[in-house]
């Protein structure tokens, strides 16, 4: 290889490293191992997942953390997550996870190790194929959930084009905050690519706002703002996805306006901010009548990064904000009432709107609804607290749990009682972040995503990772705890034990057996999933074994299990018994049939919609 | 509802029941639960899987067993397997399993519970969508691995068409032995359909052979046969897939010809048949030189149901049989040397060929190569047997294990040391069947497929189910053991403990850490995955709990774990210690780096092809 070239695989890895990527999630396969060797030699950390779906969830979780702007803390986070699978069998197992990242807008690069171009051109009936000699089918399937796809086999004779394709997929993936797909054949890994191509800047940013059009937009906003008395800011998902958190924060700081967040916007802006009024659940916000009244009573909505899905409007599309009174800020467009300003993106616009609103800051009524975690009355808990009131009810749990979180902690919630319950928990500020698949809502996501969140949190120097899941959801992806322990990660996994799929029971079939699960023993499970002292073979090839395990077994602290059956037991745990090192699995026994208020309302709406 | 109509969902279920379906694999979701309720009330058994990928593997396994012709034993097996998932998140998780069924030709109906037509027509931004209001995307993704797709929402106003679409998907699925896709919206479940439509016969069979053309084909075969002295029959995958097992057996019985099987054809015809000469692995058949010589020396190949994939030719396409000396029999075409007879299918043709060959039966040399399970010499085992020769080597295991199988047993092998090793094990006859994904080769398949094989074997009155997997593959889908125990199934799961992905190590990276796995304790795992005596909630709603569990907990025998570290221990187990009831997990400790001869040869070929 000439001195001014490097192999294609190394080009790709160098690009990833330029983008800050330190970790790649993967399950090996014979069409990907050649690439894995080169990654390994290049110092990219290869995380070995138990299966590909879990790997894709982990990559999604990793990408979520990276959407936080940690630069003020001296960290420069990676710009995307990377997942590597093998052709056919591996990549298809990851598709649900990738679709989730597409739906919820997370930049995940999916590198698929493909059979060699030589085999492809012969239409060979290889294993891991449909037996039809077609090697493009799986990329076509993935293209529905990728914003950019490249099959590198198509450019085998053209090194410059190969590099261009890598760059195109990377830029689009980061720029659009969505998955990209790169099909990498085994026999192109070593194609020499011009090193100088690595110096080209990757086009990651959006186009700038057109000055005249932006001015027109600002004038419309200025006019709208002048006419109103009680505007309110609504923070939604795309504020995070399109990196406008800092700008949104500046707007609430400068304007003095109160703000609420949607479920998908939760924690984008710090919840300890004096202007934070709560999570807005529309008519479904039982117990939050004051907030509901305040939002309904507003005469202008500054809606930032809106994503109006059923669960995110928390009421299956019941009137959310009145369009006639709403200004919507998106990554690439702005809407002032019925006036559309395409191409005017919020990242540049919001600081100017902030300046506009700062003028009238002194006239604002201060926010009086700042939420706090307050334990419910025994009456409010009702039957869920058991005859003696000592059973941990949903109403009590989500208020009590708030005290365990510290600034910078990362909280992952499974779609279910956890994701709805945590909406009621007010979180600390700073870089604390709430992660949940409110739109995609794939059962089993939270546990495996925790692996990725924990890696990213550790790389970025953030706080502890807390995963909340249920006993039903846990069973889909439980084995990934094993990977967390193996790599020395120490999240707290809170598993709510309530005898099955409670979210489903709230919607339909509360007594149907399809909502039952097999009874597991989670304490035994934790022992099962990491047992380094047991022999792992009949011996032999000891040298190879020792050598290749050496990288994995550093810094492993054995995990701890905690069973929590009463309020006193949870109090004791929160007051000091929770281990600081090593993974903690906390099983909270709750009553079947108990659910957070927000879930009960949502379930009714969903059930009606399905009928 | 008028008396001469029934709800669409009941129409579908009635059709399934006409086709012999007793069991449906599923994971519930809010868009599928309405259908599940109706299934439950119709007496269809709903098997609750831990996750959707596992459910799809289970359905594939169920379908494999059904491809056996058990009618001679008084059983009428179902004609297809059924899987039900929820829109988006559920269905995509199942795609890898469905693709495997497509690749390997198994009839699996995938019913996807979809959002209501009302929501679809509004392009509502529902959960489980990509947020774009499009409800067809996932069906399009699945269409690449389905032989028929129906989105019932498109025919909402036309009950007759709805029934037609159900019938079309079912017929195609069974007829082509491939997956079909049925998108069933929540608000069409109760559309009244004319009951009389259920009386229409489903068009499941192939078109008959054209008599004149078949005659021409037979003449060509007659001429070919007359000129040769040493013909041999090769049995391959599609003999099973297209229901020509009985006809192939008749051909070897009537002709007296010796036959070999490919890896995918293994056990299609009974291996205790006097004419069986062994599994043919081409130049990769080390230790089987006599068989190799016999096959190479043949002057005519009668190749039934050929599927020439790399692993199935066991040599990555090295010359398998000489085309100039081969007659190929397929489901819908026949090839005599270079003459093609399209439309002439083997099911009708083979009995006529059998009659033709019967004439010269008395002149045939009897088969002298009938294989037996014979323990290897200490020398042949080499280092793998450890310094004292007591470690269980691959060479020894696959010969020794043969004695555990009884007629009618179903044997599932994971792609890895197990699937290659078991090629060397001669199996009992009758309805004993070997199941393995030789073409698709998805890691983790075997464990979850075992659930489906065990259900079907139990419904069909077949023998015990044995699953062979490795410690690496096991981790992908291990939780499904839990479902087997819960439903009272009692397979034997043989897990080879050799410290990681051995098949991968044979191909690449024997010392790379990506081929390592997390160290598990399988004994603890078995305890973890079924613990009925532990509390599964904090109580409450007890009545509902008791009622809805009642169906599940019948006939559960607690599982047993066995660790086997030496030959003596395995001998003791095979000679009586293996439990007859309840799931048995047997962990066999073997040496890392040890692999069956056939795998070593295949790995070399694959490695070369990837370079």
Q: What is the residue whose two structure tokens read 């994995």?
A: A552
Cβ atoms of residues A371 and A278 within 8 Å: yes
Tell me, yes or no, whether B459 lies in a domain: yes
Specify whether A358 is located in the same domain as A385.
no
Nearest 5°: CA angle at B526, between B520 and B529?
105
pLDDT at B267 over 50: yes
**Nearest CA distance, A45 vs chain B (angstrom):** 10
Q: Are residues A191 and A164 in the same domain?
A: yes
**Residue B547, pLDDT above cutoff 70:** no
Smallest CA–CA separation between A258 and chain B, in Å?
27
Q: What residues contact B556, with CB distance under 8 A and at least 6 apart? A: B485, B486, B488, B530, B532
User: Other CB atoms closer than 10 Å to residue B565's CB: what's the count?
Assistant: 18
B32 phi, psi to nearest 5 deg:
-110, -15
How many Å separate Cα B402 from the centre of its chain?
Answer: 20
Tell me the mean pLDDT in the region B492-496: 98
> What mean pLDDT do residues B43-62 have?
97
Confidence (pLDDT) at B534: 79
Euclidean distance between CA atoms B379 and B387, whole angstroms? 12
Q: What's the average model confidence in pLDDT over A376-398?
A: 95
Cα distance between residue A28 and residue A84, in whole Å: 8
Half-sphere exposure of B10 (CA within 13 A, CB side): 13
Do A468 and A523 fall into the same domain? yes
- Touching A: B residues 354-383, CB under 8 Å: 383
Residue B562 and residue B418 share a domain: yes
Q: For residues B426 and A37, give the distance between their C-alpha atoms in angstroms, rounded to a whole number.
A: 38
Cα separation values, A382 from A565, A588, A594, B349, Å: 17, 18, 10, 74
Give the one of B50, B443, B549 whose C-beta lies nearest to A475's C-beta. Answer: B50
Burial (CB count within 10 angstroms: exposed 0-12, middle 13-18, buried 19+), residue B227: exposed
Domain identity same for B185 and B248: no
B527:A524 CB<8 A: yes
Do B271 and B382 lie in a common domain?
Answer: no
**Do A442 and A357 sit in the same domain of this protein?**
no
Verify whether residue A441 is a known catalytic residue.
yes
Q: With an 8 Å Cβ cutoff, is A532 touching chain B? A: yes
Given a cut of 70, whether residue A454 has pLDDT beyond it is: yes
Distance CA A288, CA A537 (A): 58
| Residue B25 binned pLDDT confidence (cut-offs 50, 70, 90) | very high
Number of domains in chain A: 3
Lowest mean pLDDT among A308-317, B220-229, B296-305: A308-317
Strands A326-329 and A300-304: parallel
CB contact under 8 Å between A29 and B384, yes or no, is no
The 3-state secondary structure of A441-503 reads CCCCHHHHHHHHHHHHHHHHCCCCEEEEEEHHHHHHHCCHHHHHHHCCCCCEEEEEECCCCHH
Would you say residue A250 lies in a domain?
A: yes
What SS3 state is found at A219?
helix
- Tell me if B126 and A309 make a contact (CB, 8 A cut-off): yes
CATH number at residue A149: 3.40.50.970
Going by C-alpha positions, the residue among A272, A240, A278, A276 that lies closest to residue A256 is A276
Q: Report angle CA B123, B126, B132 to the nearest 5 degrees.
A: 50
Quote the tokens at residue B74: 């008084």
Rounded distance between C-alpha atoms, residue A237 and residue A57, angstroms: 18
Give the C-alpha separation, A238 to A415, whole Å: 19
Residue B599 falls inside a structural domain: yes
Mean pLDDT over A6-18 rounds to 97
pLDDT of residue A204: 81
The one catalytic residue in A20, A30, A253, A488 is: A30
- How are strands ordered across the β-sheet holding B333-336? B276-279, B259-261, B231-235, B300-304, B326-329, B333-336, B339-342
Long-range contacts of B274-279 (CB under 8 A, 24+ apart): B274/B366, B274/B367, B274/B370, B275/B233, B275/B367, B276/B367, B276/B370, B276/B371, B277/B232, B277/B367, B277/B369, B277/B370, B277/B371, B278/B369, B278/B371, B279/B423, B279/B424
H-helix or E-strand spanning residue A167:
helix A159-176
State the Cα–Cα distance between residues A144 and A99, nearest whole angstrom.
Answer: 8
Given pLDDT bands bounded at 50, 70 and 90, which one contains residue A317? very low
Are A504 and A597 within 8 A, CB to CB?
no
Q: Is B606 on the interface with A (CB under 8 A)?
A: yes
Range with the lowest mean pLDDT among A294-308, A405-419, B60-74, B505-519? Answer: B60-74
Contacts of A178 in chain B (CB under 8 A): none
* A102 neighbourhood in chain B, CB within 8 Å: 130
Inter-chain touch A538–B482, beta carbons under 8 Å: no
Q: What is the rounded average pLDDT for all residues in chain A?
A: 92
Mean pLDDT of B252-260: 96
The rounded Cα A516 to chain-centroid distance in angstroms is 28
In 3D space, the residue among B486, B453, B607, B481 whose CA is nearest the CA of residue B555 turns out to be B486
Interatomic CA distance for residues B109 and B120, integer angstroms: 23
How far apart are the C-alpha atoms of B103 and A585, rounded to whole Å?
40
The pLDDT value given to residue B395:
96
Tell me which residues of chain A, numbers 399 to 428, contact chain B at a CB-CB cutoff of 8 Å.
415
Residue B370 placed within a domain: no
pLDDT at B77 over 90: no
Top mean-pLDDT range of A23-32, A295-304, A309-318? A23-32
Nearest CA in chain B to A99: B130
A369 part of a folded domain: no
Distance from CA of B487 to the nearest CA of A (A): 9
d(CA B537, CA A498): 4
pLDDT confidence of residue A461: 92
**CB contact at 8 A, A539 and B386:** yes
For residue A315, name the pLDDT band (cuts at 50, 70, 90).
Answer: low
User: Could you tell me if A570 and A533 lie in one domain?
Assistant: yes
Neighbours of A302 (CB within 10 A): 27
Q: A305-314, A480-489, B239-248: which has the minimum mean pLDDT?
A: A305-314
In a domain, residue A472? The reply is yes
- Could you report the per-residue pLDDT of B83-97, keeping only the tens digit for each? 999 999 999 999 999
Check the annotation: does A90 bind a ligand.
Answer: no
d(CA B417, CA B396): 13
Taking the C-alpha atoms of residue A450 and residue A427, their distance in angstroms, rounded to an integer, is: 18
Is the minimum CB–CB distance between B187 and chain A shorter than 8 Å?
yes
What average pLDDT score do residues B202-227 get?
Answer: 92
Which of B363, B386, B417 marks a domain boundary? B363
**Tokens 């919607």 found at:** A507
Which residues in chain B have their CB less than 8 angstroms from residue A507's CB?
30, 33
State the smallest CA–CA distance between residue B472 and chain A in angstroms: 8
Whether residue A315 is found in the same domain as residue A427: no
**pLDDT value, residue B317:** 47
Confidence check: pLDDT of A383 > 80: yes
Give the mean pLDDT of B509-530: 95
For residue B309, the domain's CATH number is 3.40.50.1220
Please indicate if any CB of chain B lies within 8 Å of the CB of A488. no
> Over the stretch A554-568, which tens digit does the pLDDT of each residue have?
568 899 999 999 999
Question: Which residues of B are identified as catalytic?
Answer: 30, 52, 127-128, 441, 471, 498, 500, 504
The two tokens of residue B26 are: 């599923």
Query: In this prediction, what percent of chain B has a pLDDT beyond 70?
Result: 95
Domain boundary residue, one of B151, B167, B199: B199
Q: What is the mean pLDDT of chain B?
A: 92
What angle in degrees, to the nearest 10, is found between the helix axes of A33-41 and A8-18? 50
Return d(Cα A568, Cα A548) in angstroms, integer: 46
Is B545 found in the same domain as B445?
A: yes
* Rg, C-alpha atoms of chain A: 25
In a shared domain, residues A80 and A173: yes
pLDDT for A220-237, tens place per residue? 999 999 989 999 999 999
Give the residue from A77, A151, A63, A82 showing the smallest Cα distance to A114.
A151
Which residues does chain B have within 8 Å of residue A551's beta carbon, measured at their own beta carbons? 513
Q: Does B518 touch chain A (CB under 8 A)?
A: yes
Whether residue B206 lies inside any domain: the answer is no
The answer, yes or no, to whether residue A282 has pLDDT greater than 90, is no
Q: Cβ–Cβ of B592/A92 closer than 8 Å?
A: no
**Across the interface, which of A37, A497, A530 has its CB nearest the CB of B537?**
A497
Of A10, A381, A409, A471, which residue is the catalytic one? Answer: A471
Mark whether A256 is an active-site residue.
no
Can you tell me the mean pLDDT for B333-349?
95
What are the DSSP E strand ranges found in B290-377? 300-304, 326-329, 333-336, 339-342
Concatenated DSSP letters of B525-584: HHHHH--TTS--SS--SHHHHHHHHTTTSTTPPPPEEEEE-SHHHHHHIIIIIS-SSS-E
Interface check for B115 against chain A (CB to CB < 8 A): the answer is: yes
Q: Do both A472 and A339 map to the same domain?
A: no
Answer yes or no: is B122 within a domain.
yes
A75-127 pLDDT, tens per residue? 566 789 999 999 999 999 999 999 999 999 999 999 999 999 999 999 999 99
Closest C-alpha to B100, from B534, B490, B443: B443
Choose the closest CB to A311 out of B127, B138, B440. Answer: B127
Show which of A363, A390, A412 is a domain's final residue: A363
Three-state DSSP at A532 gives coil
Indicate the pairing of strand B180-185 with strand B148-151: parallel
**Domain hosting residue B577, numbered range:** 378-610
What is the per-residue pLDDT for B68?
73
The DSSP element (H or E) to which B496 belongs, if any, is strand B492-497
Confidence (pLDDT) at A311:
80
């Amino acid at each position: 290889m000439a001195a001014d070239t490097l192999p294609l695989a190394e080009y790709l890895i160098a690009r990833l490293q330029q983008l800050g990527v330190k970790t790649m999630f993967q399950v090996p396969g014979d069409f990907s191992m050649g690439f894995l060797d080169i990654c390994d030699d290049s110092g990219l950390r290869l995380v070995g997942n138990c299966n590909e779906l879990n790997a894709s969830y982990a990559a999604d979780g990793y990408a979520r953390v990276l959407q936080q702007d940690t630069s003020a803390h001296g960290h420069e986070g990676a710009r995307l997550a990377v997942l590597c699978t093998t052709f056919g069998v591996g990549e298809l197992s990851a598709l649900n996870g990738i679709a989730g990242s597409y739906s919820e807008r997370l930049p995940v690069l999916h590198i698929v190790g493909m059979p060699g171009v030589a085999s492809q051109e012969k239409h060979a009936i290889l294993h891991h194929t449909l037996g039809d000699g077609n090697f493009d089918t799986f990329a076509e399937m993935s293209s529905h959930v990728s914003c950019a796809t490249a099959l590198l086999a198509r450019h085998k004779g053209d090194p410059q084009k190969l590099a261009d394709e890598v760059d195109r997929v990377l830029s689009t993936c980061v720029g659009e905050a969505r998955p990209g797909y790169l099909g990498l054949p085994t026999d192109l890994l070593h194609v020499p690519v011009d090193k100088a191509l690595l110096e080209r800047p990757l086009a990651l940013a959006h186009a700038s706002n057109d000055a005249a059009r932006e001015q027109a937009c600002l004038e419309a906003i200025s006019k709208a703002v002048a006419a109103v008395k009680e505007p309110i800011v609504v923070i939604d998902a795309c504020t995070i996805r399109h990196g406008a958190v800092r700008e949104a924060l500046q707007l609430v700081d400068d304007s003095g306006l109160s703000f609420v967040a949607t479920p998908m916007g939760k924690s984008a802006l710090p919840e300890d901010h004096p202007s934070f009024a709560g999570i807005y659940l529309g008519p479904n916000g039982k117990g939050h009548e004051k907030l509901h009244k305040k939002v309904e009573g507003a005469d202008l909505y500054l809606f930032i990064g809106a994503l109006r899905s059923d669960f995110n409007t928390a009421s299956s599309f019941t009137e959310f904000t009145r369009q006639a009174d709403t200004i919507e800020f998106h990554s690439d467009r702005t809407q002032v009432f019925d006036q559309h300003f395409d191409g005017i993106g919020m990242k540049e616009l919001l600081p100017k709107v902030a300046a506009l609103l700062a003028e009238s800051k002194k006239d604002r009524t201060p926010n009086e609804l700042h939420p706090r975690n307050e334990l419910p009355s025994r009456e409010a808990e009702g039957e869920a607290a058991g005859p003696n009131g000592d059973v941990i009810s949903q109403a009590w749990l989500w208020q009590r749990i708030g005290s365990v979180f510290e600034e910078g902690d990362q909280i992952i919630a499974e779609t279910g009682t956890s994701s709805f319950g945590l909406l009621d928990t007010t979180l600390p500020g700073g870089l604390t972040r709430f992660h949940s698949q409110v739109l995609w809502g794939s059962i089993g996501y939270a546990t495996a995503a925790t692996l990725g969140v924990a890696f990213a949190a550790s790389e970025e120097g953030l706080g502890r990772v807390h995963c909340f899941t249920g006993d039903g959801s846990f069973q889909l992806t439980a084995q990934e705890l094993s990977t967390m322990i193996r790599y020395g990660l120490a999240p707290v996994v809170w598993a709510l034990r309530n005898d099955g799929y409670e979210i489903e029971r709230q919607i339909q079939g509360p007594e149907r057996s399809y909502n039952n699960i097999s009874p597991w023993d989670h304490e035994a499970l934790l022992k099962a999933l990491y047992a380094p002292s047991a022999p792992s073979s009949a011996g032999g090839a000891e040298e190879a074994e020792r050598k290749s395990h050496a990288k994995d077994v550093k810094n492993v602290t054995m995990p701890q299990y905690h069973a929590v059956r009463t309020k006193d037991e949870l109090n004791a745990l929160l007051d000091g018994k929770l281990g600081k090192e090593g993974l903690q699995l906390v099983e909270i026994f709750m009553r079947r049939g108990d659910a957070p208020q927000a879930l009960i309302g949502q379930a009714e709406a969903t059930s009606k919609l399905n009928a």
